[in-house]
Amino acid sequence: MINKDYLINLNEAQKDAVMHLEGPLLIVAGAGSGKTKVLTSRIAHIIKEKKAFPNQILSVTFTNKAAKEMHNRVSKILGSVAIGLSWLGTFHSICAKLLRKHASAVNLNSNFTIIDTDDQTRLIKNICKAENIDIKQLAPRFILAVIDRWKNKGYYPSEVVINKKDIYEKTVLPLYTIYQNKLKDLNSCDFGDLILHTVKIFEQYPDIRKIYSNNFKYILVDEYQDTNFIQSKWLNLLSEKNKNLCCVGDDDQSIYSWRGAEIKNFLEFDQVYKNTKVIRLEQNYRSSQNILSVASNLIANNQNRVGKTLSTTMEEGDLVKLNCFKNGKDEAIGISDEIEKKLKKKYSFNNMAILVRAIFQTREFEERFLKIGMPYRILGGTKFYERAEIKDCVAYLRLIYQKKDDLAFERIVNNPKRSIGDTTLKTVHEFAQENYLSLEEASIKMINQNLIKPKTKIGLSFFLNSLNKWRSDLILKKISHIKLLQIVLDESGYSAMLKNKKDLDNENRLENIKELLSAMKEFDNLESFLEHVSLATSIDQEWDGEKINMMTMHAAKGLEFDVVFLPGWEEGIFPHQKSIEEKGQNGLEEERRLAYVGITRAKKKAIISFSMNRFYQGDWIDSMASRFIEELPEKNLEKNSFFDEEAGEVDDFEFNQDFELEEGTRSPGWIRYQKRIK
């Protein structure tokens, strides 16, 4: 039963976006303007007006968290009808679903494994070793970054055109070829492949493309400003029949170019899709007017933007604070004092955040918080599914499910210890390569041919026999995936390994495994659980207890807090010098968008700060206030300077220190800074 009240609490622009159902639509959604409400209401409206059945609507997000939130909201409106929304999810999850149906078109089996970054790195290391590539000279992470860039552009190895200015591409391209062949042998994909393979299938098999293009009468995309070339192409192919492509986003929050995002997808949308209707959501429901005024004034200095003017019905609120400190240590003390003396009585720790440009900036705050006993968390640390013990458990399950998963085999064949060393594993690798076998198949043949040393043979045979037994438990006895993991942990000796060594770390690892078993209960079978693990890319953390939140501004996107501290607004740190050196004006504009994102995370209080001196790379340096500070509107600011007033000491700080002395000359601070960076 559809709740027909979904239009009641929408403003006029939101209603317009919901009810426009013919042709391409670009929704320019400012920070805190209710874009998720618009997307979910739009889905409800499409179904209510009988424009499409639920399974004819494709709704794409970037994170599992966003997909889950959207599904929950839609369910509240649509009730049981929401069950039919089978195509609501992330780019990767939807592409994985499509690819499993048509895996044979790219020479894969439908039960292919999706490998994560750790597995990718190990695979590249093995390839480099075989090809005599020195990983100290050419790091695996760099190689993978180049490969990922090619995939984001839609290139298979045979389609890559070498950039002659890039001296490394010539070396990386053959490795890309080997890497893709290895993935095929392993019946595996990486994340880039999920979209790339799907696009290639659509291009090479028009009949397959036609099925989905005809089926998806409406396509909705969240955070469109974060899409890359291959994602944009995928959407273009799917929308070629019905043209009802609705993209929502904010060009002022495009901060992921380093991840392949192309802001031009957003800026040129109405040029690519003819007769596009553009609707601006400019009513902010998050922040006070002073916060919005500061953010809007700052971002107005960017040239490459669609443009919008945010407003709010909320009160003006407190002025945005702009604080100057003597040094970085004083900045940490000043912020912790403000939290303790003024804020914690009114706001919870969970609703306060410190947002930094670079993760190294958290050090001084951590030291200070530890000293005074203030609880804190760093978001963006080790994720649950990236913890070693969790990856071990998942590797066991992956190998049971898919015999050719050599990467999982490598990880757990000697974990716990079974007298299977690196030398043996190398020998098995070579035998497998020579005979075109998986590592498991090679191990069986080598045992049968007595090519394994007796001591090693015992451990390896036990492991292989255990695998067969566990597969029988799963397939023939049809035991649950939860019970299977419990059996594996017991029979492999993994649980005993952790229990026998009593220390805090191992106790934590055991608790994490218990949590994993609890998490598995949410999935019907092993396949769906493994797919979830492969696609679990969000930065979700355990929010246990009241803690101050610390994270980078990149990690803060999509979040909101009552109080936001923005420290370290100094030239070289923010805007980041590397970004400007590598990307010039485009880099500067992205840094400014990052500042905009940081400020607009605040609902009630925003506190920007910088220091005159900072201990950096083992030395004290003179700092200069960020150029962004000059772009903040004076009338919306409360300026404060914090210095120890010792005898004879004069506070000569001026907020407009970066003044013109004469034509072509800048202030002393600017001159000092230029000397330092040369």
Indicate the residue type of 584.
Answer: G
Instruction: Evaluate if residue 543 carries a pLDDT over 60.
Output: no
CB neighbour burial string for 588-623, b if at least 16 within 10 angstroms, e if fewer = bbbbbbbbbbbbbbbbbbbbbbbbbbbeeeeeeeeb
What CA–CA distance (Å, rounded) separates 431 from 452? 11
Extended beta strands in 5-120, E state: 25-29, 57-61, 88-90, 113-114
SS3 letters across 591-626: HHHHHHHHHCCEEEEEEEEEEEEEEECCEEEECCEC
Segment 173-186 shows an average pLDDT of 96
218 backbone dihedrals φ, ψ, rounded to 5°: -135, 135
Mean pLDDT score across all residues of the chain: 88
Largest CA distance in the chain: 88
What CA–CA distance (Å, rounded) separates 291 from 632? 11
What CA–CA distance (Å, rounded) separates 239 from 274? 13
Instruction: Evaluate if residue 662 carries a pLDDT over 70.
Output: no
564 backbone dihedrals φ, ψ, rounded to 5°: -130, 125
CB neighbour burial string for 392-421, b if at least 16 within 10 angstroms, e if fewer = bbbbbbbbbbbbbbbbbbbbbbbbeebebe
Measure Cα distances from 616 to 506, 581, 612 in Å: 36, 19, 12
What CA–CA distance (Å, rounded) separates 643 from 392? 52
Q: Which residues are part of the catalytic machinery? A: 35-36, 222-223, 253, 601
Crossing angle of helices 526-535 and 481-492, rounded to 10°: 80
Q: Which residue has the higher pLDDT, 520 or 504?
A: 520
Q: What is the pLDDT of residues 554-572, one digit of tens each?
A: 999 989 999 999 999 999 8
Closest CA to 122 of 140, 107, 145, 95: 140
Q: What is the pLDDT of residues 199-234, one digit of tens each?
A: 999 999 999 999 999 999 999 999 999 999 999 999
Q: What is the pLDDT of residue 7?
A: 85
Tokens encoding 673: 């800074």
Reply yes or no: is the peptide bond before residue 24 cis, omega within 30 of 0.
Answer: no
Crossing angle of helices 289-299 and 577-599, rounded to 10°: 150
Specify the range with the lowest mean pLDDT, choosing from 284-298, 325-339, 508-522, 635-649: 635-649
Q: What is the pLDDT of residues 29-82, one digit of tens each?
A: 999 999 999 999 999 999 989 999 999 999 999 888 888 888 888 888 888 887
Total residues found in the chain within this entry: 678
Reply yes or no: is the peptide bond before residue 416 cis, omega within 30 of 0.
Answer: yes
- Under DSSP, is residue 567 helix (H, G, I), strand (E, B) or coil? coil
Specify the range with the lowest mean pLDDT, choosing from 110-114, 257-261, 388-392, 566-570: 257-261
Instruction: Evaluate if residue 384 carries a pLDDT over 90.
Output: no
In sequence order, the 6+-apart residues with CB closer than 8 A to the CB of 81 are 1, 2, 47, 54
pTM above 0.85, yes or no: no
The pairing of beta strand 320-327 with beta strand 602-616: parallel
What CA–CA distance (Å, rounded) separates 607 from 563? 8
Measure Cα distances from 577 to 138, 572, 670 in Å: 24, 4, 14
Instruction: Evaluate if residue 658 carries a pLDDT over 60.
Output: no
Q: What is the pLDDT of residue 501?
A: 61
Residues 107, 149: contact at Cβ < 8 Å?
Answer: no
Residues 568, 357: contact at Cβ < 8 Å?
Answer: yes
**Sole residue written with tokens 């429901």:** 285
562 backbone dihedrals φ, ψ, rounded to 5°: -60, -45
Long-range pairs of 575-578 with CB within 8 A, sequence gap ≥ 24: 575/626, 575/627, 575/628, 576/357, 576/358, 577/677
Q: What is the pLDDT of residue 490?
A: 95
Q: What is the pLDDT of residues 119-177, one digit of tens each?
A: 999 999 999 999 999 887 888 988 999 999 999 999 999 999 998 877 889 999 999 99
Closest CA to 548 of 366, 383, 384, 319: 366
Closest CA to 666 of 656, 653, 676: 656
Q: What pairs with residue 311 in β-bridges?
A: 283
What CA–CA distance (Å, rounded) separates 395 from 119? 10
311 backbone dihedrals φ, ψ, rounded to 5°: -140, 165
